[in-house]
Amino acid sequence: MKLDSEHLEILAAIVERGGLTEGAEALGKSQPSVSRSMALLEERIGLPLFEPGRRPLRPTELGASLARLGARIHAANKESSLLVQRFRQGLAGRLRVGGSPIFMDGVVASMIAEFQSRHADVQIDQSYGYSERLEAGLRNGGLDVAILPLHPGQVPPDLDFMPLLSGNNVIACRAGHPLTRTKAITLNDIAPYAWIAPPTNSPLYRDLQRALKSIGQEDFRINFSGGTLASIQSVLTGSDALTVLPYSVVFLSRRTIPLEALPLKIDHAERQMGILSVTDRQAPPAVRQLTGFLRAECQRLEERMHHDQQITRRRG
């Protein structure tokens, strides 16, 4: 026997409110329509739902049991409506986010943590990759968005890119490194120190080569390479080695890891960290929430870094 779930919801309201009129008011229905629904339900089950002649209405044992089921159905419907509403608003759902490792670990991860503290019902599945792999993931539907550094001229015609943060690089070292006490750093000052290189297939590796060439050090010694950001930071803080990192990564790392950026101007690619997505593809609504949040956070970070650099210049 299949019962109309709406009839059970109406029954639950009547029992909870203690009468047909009260139940109808709670549901926003007319009393005659509620009476007809109860008559149809009683006809369907062949048994009375209320004890006859009792005022206020008192449900039979079966009526009370069905009312409890109706209350559960009403709660489930209400929860379902709320879930749909939250999903449409971008406050719930699952996002598949890919990104370049150094930026994701050094900048974006802390922002995602803050985002999820405000939007706990948004699940984020993160993966790593560089531009070629990330673009393929977007095109084949494996990713909703990708976060990576790009030059405006590198954006493929079928993808959209929203810049978030400048991609300026710096030479990084541990706090207290001998070079941090050198007023005007020269090539001879840098020459004795070994370098930490990011993975050879990463854009940052090419940035390292470019940066060192720009300061005249084309012949350099690498003593550690290919590690994650965490391992690069560990080797940096435990040695006198140098490396090239985005300034934003060094700036945020200083909250927990004693790193410094040397005041040495180097050449770097004109890239920006940003969000890459497929043009004209309808993304999950939560993408809108995440991109808006990241844009605001990156703007604040840009302002903080600019302020920090101004203070550093005045001290210098």
My answer on whether 154 and 286 are in the same domain is yes
Structure-block tokens of residue 280: 């004209």
pLDDT tens, residue by residue, 153-162: 889 999 999 9
> Would you say residue 276 has pLDDT above 70?
yes
Structure-block tokens of residue 315: 């001290």
My answer on whether 242 and 174 are in the same domain is yes
The per-residue pLDDT of the chain, averaged, comes to 91
My answer on whether 150 and 66 are in the same domain is no
| CATH value at residue 245 | 3.40.190.10
My answer on whether 173 and 43 are in the same domain is no
Distance CA 75, CA 67 (A): 12
My answer on whether 108 and 154 are in the same domain is yes
> Would you say residue 315 has pLDDT above 70?
no
pTM of the model: 0.80
5-17 vs 31-45: helix crossing angle, rounded to 10: 120
Distance CA 253, CA 176 (A): 15
When mean pLDDT is compared across 31-45, 253-267, 283-297, the lowest value belongs to: 253-267
My answer on whether 277 and 225 are in the same domain is no
Per DSSP, 179 falls in state G
My answer on whether 56 and 110 are in the same domain is no
pLDDT tens, residue by residue, 53-91: 777 789 999 999 999 999 999 999 999 999 999 999 999
Provide the number of structural domains found in the chain: 3
> Would you say residue 314 has pLDDT above 60?
no
What range does the domain containing 232 cover? 169-261
Q: Which of 216, 231, 261 is the last residue of a domain?
A: 261
pLDDT tens, residue by residue, 239-253: 999 999 999 999 999
Domain annotation covers residue 266:
no
Mean pLDDT along residues 213-219: 79
My answer on whether 104 and 239 are in the same domain is no
> Would you say residue 269 has pLDDT above 80?
no
Residues 6+ apart with CB under 8 A from 139: 158, 278
Cis peptide before 152 (omega within 30 of 0): no
Structure-block tokens of residue 139: 């095109």
Mean pLDDT along residues 45-49: 94
Radius of gyration of the chain (CA): 31
Domain annotation covers residue 65:
yes
pLDDT tens, residue by residue, 116-167: 999 999 999 999 999 999 999 999 999 999 999 998 888 999 999 999 998 8
My answer on whether 154 and 232 are in the same domain is no
Domain annotation covers residue 78:
yes
